[in-house]
Structure 1
């Protein structure tokens, strides 16, 4: 199809007129966009500073700030396209449908998300605490929105889903600041119980890492067919717990050797019945 110069001129004039008529909307829309992006950045920084001053959990601070950032960006985008003259009702309906579809397909992830929120808000543990949950023990390295990262004693990294973590039993070994070691030392029936207890008490009192309050306990735990079991329960700060546990066993063995007391070997009832 051939266009004559007059038609081209008419098209050009129509385009220029439409552009002139529409340009105020375009200019105002982009002004709103750029000013809005700058304002959102300022609001986000301001909110982060407030939450940091109020000593909120760093993970919660970052998460809430990011959520607020994206909510404000979505609202700004809707305002931007509305200013351009685009109908927003259909756009909102599409977003709603997409949100429903994503929600149905990510039920497990949403459960972990909700669990992460509960952990962050109610704080049954925080980074640096040693916990036992879902059959694993480790030190909390990071609390993320969907998973919690644990570092085990042998430096393995375990990611535990927050959904199952928030709904299960959690043992927090660090929350109180100190722990009790529950040790069992077996001696023969020929051994003087009071003498053995005095030796263990001396060992406990000579270890500076063992707390004086609460005081350590030494008592008869059980009388089995082949041994007298003594319960040894020293208290230690969390950072000294492992050392206290091993040092107590070692020192008691050395003290018993010096006193001529033999630690009774543990005999399983099953092996005894089979003999």
Structure 2
């Protein structure tokens, strides 16, 4: 049978206390990471539940919950390193000396974090709002510390960096209770404009979801190349916007057809000249 080399045996004997200490430190670090992660999950969940019970806005709850979770995880990692015998003073000194390099490397992430804080403070939008930012339109699902999560109309998830949001225009379609629908209806030049406006007004009045105040606006918008364009501007509740848009546009078309009012379409006249040889 093979036996352990005498040198190895002597080394193990001489350093048994050191090996035991290292083993204890490693096991302690693993336990700290395991138990600490469990505690972090409980604490962050408790913070979220507390904020929700206080009816804090969901966007702020999400952001604060993420912030608490990551901050506690950093503390757990530092505690685990401390149990391994790593000198905290030395580590802090190294991190301080490398702070410039770290800051440059994480410039984008720090910018996103700072922008996330500004979004939570100034609240240009909240969860479930329908917004358009950085060329993307969708409903806000969550405001994280680095990204804002949107769900588009065709059910795609888009994570928009917070810095991109704060550096450009923010269009919030859900902020106000009422929105105006903008129709542009073109009728032929032979149409009776007075009758046309009366027909459109009748359609708007029959639609119960259109608000009486502010009153709808109907007027001649432009004398175009092949049509007289009528501007139709009814107001609706924000939640009813698209349903009323589709139903009203169809109703206007059908009512104009019943009244014999023509909606022109582009036409081209071609004249051929035949030359006899």
Name the count of aligned residue pairs: 251
Native 8 Å contact 2:41 2:69 kept in 1: no
Structure 1 residues 155 and 79, CA gap change in structure 2 (3 angstroms): closer
Partner of 2:51: 51
| Aligned residue number for residue 226 of structure 1 | 226
Secondary structure of 1:179 counterpart: strand
Separation of aligned partners in 1, 2:263 and 2:147: 45
Name the CA shift for 1:180/1:41 in 2 (closer, same or farther; >3 Å). closer
Match of 1:66 in 2: 69
Secondary structure of the structure 2 residue equivalent to 1:184: strand
Note the alpha carbon deviations across 1:193-230, whole angstroms, 9 max, x for none: 11111111111111122222322221111223432211
Q: Structure 1 unaligned runs (5+)?
A: none
Relative to structure 2, which stretch is displaced further, 140-149 or 253-262?
140-149
Q: Which residue of 2 aligns with 1:243?
A: 243
Q: 1:203 and 1:266, CA in 2 relative to 1: closer, same or farther beyond 3 A?
A: farther
CA contact 2:146–2:161 (8 Å) conserved in 1: yes
Note the C-alpha offset of 1:45. 6.4
Task: Give the Cα separation in 2 of the matches to 1:40 and 1:135.
Answer: 37
What RMSD in Å do the two structures reach over aligned CA positions?
A: 3.7
Alignment-derived partner of residue 169 in structure 1: 169
Name the CA distance, whole Å, in 2 between partners of 1:220 and 1:185. Answer: 9
Shift in Å at residue 143 of structure 1? 2.1
CA spacing shift, 1:129–1:49, aligned 2, 3 Å: closer
Instruction: Tell me the CA shift for residue 185 of structure 1.
Output: 0.3
Match of 2:145 in 1: 145
Within a 5 Å distance, the mapping from 1:75-86 to structure 2 comes to: 76=79
TM-score, normalised via structure 2 length: 0.73
Structure 1 equivalent of residue 113 of structure 2: 113
Deviations along 1:113-146, one digit per CA (max 9) or x if unpaired, are 2222222222111221111122222222222222
The DSSP-based 3-state class of the residue aligned with 1:175 is coil
Structure 2: runs of 5+ lacking an equivalent = 1-5, 270-277
Shift of 1:188: 1.9
